[in-house]
Chain A
Amino acid sequence: MNKNEILSVTQEIFRDIFDEDDMLIQDSTNSDDIEEWDSLNHINLVTSIEKEFNIRFALGELVSLKNVGEMLNLIIEKLK
């Protein structure tokens, strides 16, 4: 999968978690941009991404992520 394909799949996960069918995300999107992106929804996002891509994150990898772009890059690394 290339980054655009991963972005597309991840965007669907965001739409499902935040219940917004037309939500658009980009590399710079972070929790300041999405009002309901709280700690519990963050956990739900991580669980859904792990299951969708069949990858596992360590806590240390997650705490330093600053935006969607960094998450996508981490997914790409995990899929290699």
Chain B
Amino acid sequence: MNEFILDDIYIGLTQSFSVTITEEMLDKFLAVTEDTNPLHIDKSYALSKGFSDRVAYGLLTASFYSTLVGVHLPGKFCILQGLDIIFTKPVYIGNTLTITGKVSYINDAYKQLEIRAIISNQDGIIVSRAKIKTGLIDA
């Protein structure tokens, strides 16, 4: 886990990590959220709607934005304050996602960071974009 403090952080500081989406992740997300929409749990239904498999929950994949800020950028001293997400492409079981965040603004007075983040798949296609606001509780 990274432990960036305000003095370490600059505009353009970038961190990323990768994760592969598994069927178990979808099942666990279903158990927690009880989101039984057939697009996520019924392959034949998803195929009938033009998708190539069950579609991973958007907020399952977006949960890795939490990991991005809570573990990587800024890491330990993060307090998530806001998240604005746009989903651009579907994600399927077996996809390997790379989550990348770059610091785009620093409010020095109140120790707030703005981070532009993207999630891209194994083919380099962006599946979502996010603007994230985090505080820093480094003192």
Contacts and interface: CB of A to CB of B under 8 A. Distances in A.
B133 A46 contact: no
Interface of A: 40, 43-44, 46-47, 50-51, 56-59, 61-62
A46 B105 CA distance: 12
Ranked 9 nearest A-B pairs via Cβ: A59-B109, A43-B110, A47-B107, A57-B109, A43-B112, A47-B112, A62-B109, A40-B81, A58-B109
Interface of chain A: mostly helix, strand, loop or mixed: helix
A51 B108 CA distance: 12
A33 to B, nearest CB: 21
Bin the interface of chain B by size. Answer: 10 to 19
B107 A46 contact: yes
Nearest to B113: A47
A38 B114 CA distance: 19
B82 interface: yes
A47 B112 CA distance: 8
A44 B109 contact: no
A43 B108 contact: no
Nearest to B104: A51
A61 B110 CA distance: 12
B101 interface: no
A59 B110 contact: yes
Contacts of B133: 44, 47
Interface string B61-85: 0000000000000000000011000
Nearest to A50: B107
